[in-house]
Structure 1
Amino acid sequence: MALDRRTYRTVDGERIEGTWRPIFIRNGRNYFLTDLLIFADGALYCWEWVDLDGLRSKLESGWVATALEPGVTASAHHLASWVLTDPMTAVSAEDLLGEVADEIDQLNGRPDSTSRCMAALDRYLASRAEEDREALRRAYLAIPEHLRVYALGDMDYRDWPLQVLSAPLGPDDEPVTEEDRAEAFAYFDGRDQSAGEWAESRPLDGPDQPEHPTVKLAVLGRFPDEPDVVWLRNERPTPIEMGGRTYPSAVHAYWALAVTEDAAREAIRDTVTPSDAEAAAGQATIRADWPEVRLAAMHAVLRAKFGQHDDLAEVLLGTGDARIEYNLSSAYWSGGSEGRNWMGRLLELVRAELRAERAGFLGERAMTRTGDQAEGSS
């Protein structure tokens, strides 16, 4: 079972994000350990496609089993099988339903039951009103029971402070006392102070995560006339001078570095479209070491492109510290779930080099000079 538990399915060309968790299915007299697939649109797969109501029916019928009988065989398909002698389970049918509902919320970027409980906690801590305590109690009990342990994310106290504040104050012989509540309030006062101090103590070299949202560079039929992030794509007509020649786009310049003969470079330069440039390179002799040097070649092309065009450099710098995800029919250059996103990563690198140059960390117009020299070294 993968650690990140991420999957997806495609419906009418749309990617539907998903995850999974292990379950037992009872088929006949045997139990089978398998995965319950959970998708953002609410579709679930447990050897049949169902939704949350369908999963409830499967639980009620025993098809999805949360209670195991002794003496029955359980199987992990071709991996192993065993006979249950003293089976113990930790999740009830209602808990499983709640957990799956939480997963659907998380896949959609919505607050799950734990997040909703934390929001109710904040309201109660701010008001100390009885109606807000009751709302907190309901929100805490809405968390699946097997997850009511580390809702606070505290390995030492676990959820004890949360359980105390969500419970009504009882008489002297009840577990929750005035002293307990005072200690619980003190816990949250200390937690809030620590969180505030941590938020103010930013690392000396800046935040750990990007402050700008991811930039996705998708393929377009045409490019806008005004500056836009899609100008960063290699297909955009942009004259680039490399090795004494001027190429009409970054794609042309890239394929010119791939071939071994000057005549082929001339032919690539004279093509009209990026796809024509690639086709021309395919008819020529490609460098034998191209798989090893292609990343360096693209780096040189991008350095030349942005070093020679200040307007494009401003567009790239305008992406801030965002992750750049490039879309291309290549798992090597493109981003996405399976792509290596080398094009996006190179754009981020060149962005950093532009900033380094402007900050005086690199020599004046260093990027332009590197681009001018790149083809001669091929």
Structure 2
Amino acid sequence: MGSRMSEGAATVMFVKRTYRYVDGARVEGTWQHIFIRNGDTYFLTDMAIYADGTVDCWGLTDLDGLRRHLETGWVATEIPQGARASASDLVDWNFDEPEFFVSAQGLLGETADKIDELNGRPDSSVRCLMAVDTFLDDPTESNRTAAREAYLAIPEHLRMFALGDMDSKDWPLATLVTAVGQRRAGYDDRVVTAEMHAHTEKYFRDRERLRASLPVAPPDGPVTAASPTVQLPMAHFHEDRLADPGRHILQIDYPAPIEYDGRTYPTVEHAYWAMSTSDPEARERIRTATRTHDARTLAADAPRRDGWPVARLAVMADLNRAKYTQHPDLAETLLGTGDARIMLAGTFSGYWYGHGSNWVGRLLEVVRSELVVARWRDD
């Protein structure tokens, strides 16, 4: 049996997140530090890497463009001693015996890995572990060669992290994928012996036993959603419900009257804006406005309640609870999203929608969870 190292293997979780918008759609990204040579100065800056394969290193390009930038030295992975460097508006300095740990090829490979990670695809390390699994299940020399090629395809500075074992680093991989009598692949050029193979095979057997003894997922469920993200653009509703609005009922301006605070409001958005003002007369005008646009415009001219920026989150949560508890058919649509992340577009500020903090979507996920618990209580 193979070690099943790649089962459930997650790509490296980057904590450096960014994004950009393309035609109104959010494109996820990450970033890393690089040096850009402009004239005689090397500038320390951030290179953004996006899920669509775009790379921003003082200008948008792609992997081929990054390769050309590395070849010309615009993106620098080697800097001569004494060269001038700058972290713009922060500090300038001159290099004294600079030592780089990432080669041009390594930076290019790591960037490709990050694009794979952003798209939920196996990166070079995971692909290597998959090839090793295949070899351990069927230890032929052709499978060993394939595993060796996959190992060498990992950017050199990242190979030590592939196994997630910083005591052993990557020596077990380098040894396993090298045939007896050959020099160890990409590691220390030591000739591999049968004894080294036996030691390595024991390492992977022990590793498999350890992995088998660990839980495959957190006790309370998976870390990431199983259902695909629900991402809805803005929809324009008439006074009456649409014949087949689908998941657009999740929008807060969808016409679903709710009882709240002793009054009936045409939509969640009407109620939200009415609750935002301290003027009772303005509140009533907002409540009876024909369109949500009119309600929003009326609210803009009305005085805000004291503490509204703090209270608004709880108000929006209450209003969405009212909507889905008072309309069981709409609750079924919300429950039908499973455990998906909900991202909506709308005319509020970025505080509420998917191009910002996405609080509307996050509150809908909370209400969805509460609906599930309510069903438990009814059983």
Residue 261 of structure 1: how far off its partner (Å): 4.9
Change in CA separation of 1:311 and 1:180 when aligned onto 2, cut-off 3 Å: same
Take 1:279 and 1:199, find their aligned partners in 2: how far apart are those partners?
A: 54
Deviation at 1:49, TM superposition (A): 5.0
Following superposition, the deviation at residue 142 of structure 1 comes to: 1.3
CA RMSD of aligned residues (A): 3.1
Given candidates 332, 336, 350, the residue that maps to 1:331 is 350
Deviation for aligned residue 1:135? 0.7
Report the Cα distance in structure 1 between the residues aligned to 2:293 and 2:147, rounded to whole angstroms.
60
- 1:370 aligns to what? none
Q: Is contact 1:23-1:64 (8 Å) kept?
A: yes
Deviation at 1:39, TM superposition (A): 3.7
Q: Deviations over 1:86-142 (max 9, x none)?
A: 222222232222223323333344333222212211211121111010011111111
Which is greater in Rg?
Answer: 1
Cα shift at 1:227: 7.0
Give me the whole-angstrom Cα distance separating, in 2, the residues matched to 1:99 and 1:171: 28
Give, as a single letter, the amino acid of the residue that structure 2 aligns with 1:130: E
> Cα 1:347–1:138, aligned 2, differ >3 Å: closer, same or farther?
same
Equivalent residues of 2:160, 2:166 under 8 A apart: no
Residue type matched to 1:334 in 2? Y
Q: Which residue of 2 aligns with 1:373?
A: none
For residues 207-286 of structure 1, the aligned pairs below 5 Å read 207-222=222-237, 224-226=242-244, 228-286=246-304
SS, match of residue 377 in structure 2: coil
Deviations 1:238-292 (A, max 9, x none): 1212344322222222233234455444433332222122233345444333333
SS in 1 for 2:30: strand
SS at match of 1:85: coil
Residue 147 (str. 1) matches residue 158 (str. 2): yes
Matched, 1:346 2:363: yes
- 1:163 Cα deviation after fit: 0.9
CA deviation after TM superposition for structure 1 residue 202, in Å: 4.7
C-alpha distance in 1 between matches for 2:295 and 2:243:
23
Inter-CA distance 94–210: structure 2 relative to 1 (3 Å threshold): closer
Cα 1:49–1:134, aligned 2, differ >3 Å: closer, same or farther?
same
In 2 relative to 1, CA 259–198 (structure 1 residues): closer, same or farther, beyond 3 Å? same
Which one-letter code corresponds to 2:133 in the other structure?
Answer: D
Q: What does residue 291 of structure 1 align with? A: 309
Alignment check: 8 A CA contact 1:236 1:249 kept: yes
TM-score, normalising length: structure 2: 0.81
Aligned counterpart, 1:122: 133
Question: Residues of 2 paired with 1:8 and 1:214: CA distance?
Answer: 16
Q: Does the Cα contact within 8 Å between 1:24 and 1:34 map onto a contact in 2?
A: yes
Given the alignment, which residue of 325, 338, 341 partners 1:320? 338
State yes or no: 1:21 paired with 2:29. no
8 Å Cα contact 1:316-1:351 kept in structure 2 = yes
Offset at 1:201? Answer: 6.7
- From 310, 319, 334, the counterpart of 2:328: 310
Number of residue-to-residue matches in the alignment: 357
The separation in 1 between residues aligned to 2:330 and 2:66, in whole angstroms, is: 53
Structure 1 residues 103 and 209, CA gap change in structure 2 (3 angstroms): closer
Report the CA distance between 1:44 and its aligned residue.
Answer: 3.6
Q: Which amino acid aligns with 1:106?
A: E
CA contact (8 A) 2:33 2:45 kept: yes
Look up the match of 1:184.
Answer: 200
Q: Distance in 1 between matches of 2:242 and 2:322?
A: 22
Helix, strand or coil for the counterpart of 2:195?
helix
CA–CA distance in 1 between the matches of 2:69 and 2:369?
54
> Shift in Å at residue 167 of structure 1?
0.6
Percent identity, aligned pairs only? 51
Identify the residue that residue 97 of structure 1 maps to in structure 2: 108
SS in structure 2 of the partner of residue 149 of structure 1: helix
Q: 1:185-214: CA deviations, max 9, x gaps?
A: 2322333343344345751x4444433333
**What is the aligned partner in structure 1 of residue 9 from structure 2?**
none
Gaps of 5+ in 1: 365-378
CA distance in structure 1 between the partners assigned to 2:222 and 2:54 by the alignment: 37
Is the CA contact (8 Å cut-off) linking 1:227 and 1:315 kept in structure 2? no
